[in-house]
């Protein structure tokens, strides 16, 4: 549950850029059993957003990429060894999810192709079904229609193969986490604002609930920010809800300057370091 929460946080950060060619950098702290119940630095996250002129024949789209690494941070590196990479393709004019790709280091002694657990989810043009691909070094060739959504910084596209693919029904126009949070940023936020959205992680149906609970001044990246304090709950059938708070700047950029979450494994918080 703690790692699921950390990953949700990194996707939240990546989703907060409405502007092309933006980069945000964060420091992640943890407090819990692993740190002797004191706050300690455990990871860093970098988030970039850019515009792509053509997204697999579906017109222009935005691409947000989140990378998370615990390299150099002993507390988390000794237990989880986090290496996380996520890309989301979405259209701002309709706020539609087109596809999202995940690569993460699997903490296991079992052999994993190129050291990563790799998956890709591609939404149908009707936005009511999703194709979920498990990728690796063996299997069938990548379909031409999905190749544009696969990163090739670690392997050439011809060496990335489809191990398995599943076709899943989703609520029409269900959002991945990044696209959800772009919607939140573009909403008319005010104290008491509430909204719910259907979501997907490529395999499961999700529900997101958003509430603006107040306003606060927050210090981050060497300055003071006026922010909206927003609560986000992610619900999945049969799972304990994951909840977090994010402080979003009240200026035109709506930057997330601080985030915190609690779980049974401890507390985590993200600090904006540069933007």
Domain segments of the chain as ranges: 2-274
* Spans of the chain below 50 pLDDT: 1-2, 15-17
Extended beta strands in 113-265, E state: 116-123, 129-136, 140-141, 161-169, 194-200, 205-220, 223-236, 242-249, 256-263
Q: What is the pLDDT of residue 10?
A: 55
User: Cβ of 40: how many Cβ atoms within 10 Å?
Assistant: 15
Distance of CA 218 to the CA centre of its chain: 23
Q: What is the pLDDT of residue 7?
A: 56
Within 8 A by CB and 6+ apart from 253, the residues are 18, 19
**SS3 call for 20:** coil
- Residue 131's nearest CA partner among 95, 165, 178, 174 is 165
Q: Within a 13 Å sphere around the CA of 131, how many CA atoms are in the beta-carbon half? A: 15
Query: Any bridge partners for residue 121, and if so which?
Result: 100, 132
> What b/e string do you get for 97-124 counting C-beta neighbours within 10 Å, with b at 16 or more?
bbbbbbbbbeeeeeeebeebbbbbbbbe
Q: What is the pLDDT of residue 179?
A: 86
Q: What is the pLDDT of residue 219?
A: 96
User: Sign of the C-alpha dihedral, residues 192, 196, 201, 205?
Assistant: positive
Q: Which helix (H) or strand (E) holds 8?
A: helix 2-14
pTM of the model: 0.86
Q: What is the pLDDT of residue 157?
A: 82
Q: What is the pLDDT of residue 263?
A: 79
- Residue 199's nearest CA partner among 176, 226, 231 is 176
Q: What is the pLDDT of residue 248?
A: 95
Which ranges in 124-268 belong to alpha helices (H)?
177-185
User: How far is residue 222 from each of residues 45, 163, 190, measured CA to CA in Å?
Assistant: 18, 47, 26
Instruction: Give the span between the Cα atoms of 185 and 19, in whole angstroms.
Output: 11
- Residue 270's nearest CA partner among 46, 22, 80 is 46
């Amino acid at each position: 549950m703690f790692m699921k929460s950390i990953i949700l946080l990194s996707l939240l950060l990546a989703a907060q850029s409405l502007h092309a060619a933006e980069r945000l950098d964060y420091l992640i702290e943890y407090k819990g059993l692993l740190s002797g119940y004191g706050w300690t630095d455990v990871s860093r996250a970098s988030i970039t957003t850019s515009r792509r002129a053509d997204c697999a024949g579906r017109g222009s789209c935005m691409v947000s990429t989140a990378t998370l690494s615990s390299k150099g941070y002993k507390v988390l590196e000794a237990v989880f060894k986090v290496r996380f990479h996520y890309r989301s393709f979405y259209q701002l004019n309709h706020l539609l999810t087109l596809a999202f790709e995940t690569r993460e280091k699997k903490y296991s002694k079992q052999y994993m192709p190129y050291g990563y657990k790799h998956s890709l989810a591609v939404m149908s043009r009707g936005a009511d079904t999703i194709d979920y691909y498990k990728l690796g070094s063996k299997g069938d060739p990548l379909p031409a229609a999905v190749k544009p959504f696969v990163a090739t910084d670690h392997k050439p596209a011809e060496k990335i193969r489809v191990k398995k693919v599943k076709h899943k029904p989703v609520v029409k126009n269900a959002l991945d986490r990044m696209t959800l949070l772009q919607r939140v940023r573009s909403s008319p936020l005010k104290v008491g604002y509430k909204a719910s959205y259907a979501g997907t992680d490529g395999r499961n149906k999700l529900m997101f609930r958003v509430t603006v609970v107040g306003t606060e001044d927050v210090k981050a990246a060497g300055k003071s920010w006026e922010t909206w304090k927003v609560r986000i709950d992610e619900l999945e059938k049969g799972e304990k809800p994951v909840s977090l708070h994010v402080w979003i700047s009240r200026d035109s950029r709506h930057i997330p300057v601080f985030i915190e979450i609690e779980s049974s494994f401890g507390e985590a918080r993200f600090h904006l370091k540069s933007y």
